[in-house]
Amino acid sequence: QKEVEQDPGPLSVPEGAIVSLNCTYSNSAFQYFMWYRQYSRKGPELLMYTYSSGNKEDGRFTAQVDKSSKYISLFIRDSQPSDSATYLCAMSESNYQLIWGAGTKLIIKP
């Protein structure tokens, strides 16, 4: 079993829909949780960064961490075609090494 599990998709939704992306993990020591977005032929870029549990909101994006369930989520409101990309979750303890999910491919249909 992988330390971080993420459904590869693709997930296809109509423009304007609310998108929910999720990762589960097995290591209860993880404290730092991140979501990256990767467009085709580009490197990942950081979207959201959360320490420990709770919610964080940035514009149309909301990140949630539930440490008791070992589950993190990224919500995208009012989804746009430009949100079509692969979304990767990543997490770490405090030892400088990130563990990554395999990424979920998201397609927003106009």
Q: Which residues bind other proteins (CB under 8 A)?
A: 6, 32, 36, 41-46, 49, 88, 90, 92, 94-103
CB 53 within 8 A of CB 65: yes
Tokens 């829909």 locate to 17
Q: Minimal distance in Å, beta carbon 71 to other proteins?
A: 18
Please give the backbone phi and psi of residue 83, each rounded to the nearest 5 degrees, phi first: -80, -10
Q: Minimal distance in Å, beta carbon 2 to other proteins?
A: 9
Q: Minimal distance in Å, beta carbon 17 to other proteins?
A: 25
Reading the block at residue 59, the tokens are 């514009």
**Closer to other proteins by Cβ: residue 11 or 98:** 98
